[in-house]
């Protein structure tokens, strides 16, 4: 293999590496966003339940 072929191969590997790195970052980002949304939803559900309990006690 000559120098240009090696350079091309290296460039392809680098691009692949960056591509998969970006995918991994996106997965982590979306997973974090999704889990925080679920946590927020569960928290608001708990607060709604607590509010309903308070209203039942007050009646």
| DSSP result, the chain | --HHHHHHHHHHHHHHHHHHHHHHHHHHHHHHHHHHHHHHHHHHHHHHHHHHHHHHHH-
What is the reported pLDDT for 59? 58
What is the reported pLDDT for 18? 93
pLDDT means per 10 residues in the chain (59 residues)? 86 93 92 89 79 67
What is the reported pLDDT for 30? 92
């Amino acid at each position: 293999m000559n120098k240009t072929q090696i350079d091309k191969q290296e460039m392809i590997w680098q691009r692949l590496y960056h591509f998969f790195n970006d995918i991994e970052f996106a997965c982590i980002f979306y997973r974090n966003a999704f889990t925080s949304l679920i946590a927020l939803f569960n928290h608001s559900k708990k607060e709604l339940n607590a509010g309903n309990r308070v209203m039942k006690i007050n009646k």
